[in-house]
Amino acid sequence: MSADPQMLAFETNCHIFSGCGFPSPGLNSFVFKPLFTVGGVHFNKPMLLAVLSTIVVVGFFWAAFARPKLLPGKLQMVGEAGYDFVRRGVVHETMGRKEGEKFVPLMVTLFFFIWIMNLWAIIPIAQFPVTSIIAFPAGLAAIVYLTWMTLTFKRHGFVGGMKSLCGYQKGLGAVAFLVFPLEFLSNTIIRPFTHTVRLFANMFAGHLLLLIFTVGAWYTLNGIGIAYSAVAFVMVVVLTLFELFIQALQAYVFVVLASDYVRGAIAGH
């Protein structure tokens, strides 16, 4: 009756060869019991982790940058390295120094916020990537979408903006009838969707993988199954390291794409 596989896997003594079926993790692994309910809104674990992410990111940058010194301390040095990575490595690289500087705060915030939300996946007790709930990446992608859409029409006016969205170029000729709808569809509808889903699906799949091997390691921990359990456990360790890499990579990819969209809006086509 209970639909919570985590409860099945960890809170009961369900092992192989004991007449217990494999409590396969699935969509239900992404549904949580409300921690508390305020006015009919259930406050659950992903929300708590999102709020914690806010505290962690703001807390870190507060500690690093609140009283910055000309000769940086250790924490400030780390903060500067992270800040510089996004600022120069992403924003200045895609948009150029002059145009890009205005968007540095947005991209820095996006990167570190997403990264920390991803990172919860491998933090003990938390062990859940907030971004695997599509609402979180969707909200961030929407902010990026609104930003570059506004910029497109602000910079180029309505006609210029539409041209930019349709991928207008001189000398397209008859191909234009093919290019315009495709580009328009790609830019206005598919782009924010893929932007969201790329992050969401990566974290979703990563979490599922980790769950399958974790639950599997626990489930097979009986009799001869211990051999399988050992393999699954090794996979958990390997995948945890892999996820550590993917979490940072996906945050990076999200920000690089966001910067590229903004660059496209500024430059036009």
Partner 1 sequence: MTLLQIAADEAENPLIPPLPELVIGLVAFLIVFGFLAKMLLPRINKVLEQRHEAIEGGMEKAEAAQAEAQALLEQYRQQLAEARHEANRLRQEAQEQGAALIAEMRSEGQRQREEIIAAAHAQIEADRKQAALALRQDVGKLAVELASKLVDEALQEHARQSRVIDRFLDELAEKAEATR
Q: Are 117 and 96 in contact (CB under 8 A)?
A: no
The residues facing 38 across adjacent strands are: 41
Sign, CA torsion 71/76/81/83: negative
The residues facing 42 across adjacent strands are: 37
Q: Which CB, 44 or 222, lies closer to partner 1?
A: 44
Give the residue from 234, 75, 81, 266 showing the smallest Cα distance to 164: 266
Binding mask 58-77 for partner 1 (x = CB under 8 A): x--xx-xxx-xxx-----x-
Contacts to partner 1 from residues 82-101, by CB under 8 A: 83
3-state secondary structure of 42: strand
Which one of residues 23, 46, 100, 129 is an interface residue with partner 1 (CB under 8 A)? 46
- For residue 240, CA distances in Å to 35, 130, 174, 206, 207 come to 27, 16, 51, 9, 10
Q: Are 33 and 6 in contact (CB under 8 A)?
A: no
Interaction of residue 134 with partner 1, rule CB under 8 A: yes
- Residue 227 CB, shortest distance to partner 1, in Å, is 34
Interaction of residue 54 with partner 1, rule CB under 8 A: yes
3-state secondary structure of 12: coil
Interaction of residue 35 with partner 1, rule CB under 8 A: no
Interaction of residue 104 with partner 1, rule CB under 8 A: yes
Interface with partner 1 by CB under 8 A: which residues? Answer: 2-4, 27-28, 30-34, 41-43, 46-47, 50-51, 53-54, 57-58, 61-62, 64-66, 68-70, 76, 79-80, 83, 104-106, 108-110, 112-113, 130, 133-136, 138-140, 142-143, 197, 200, 204
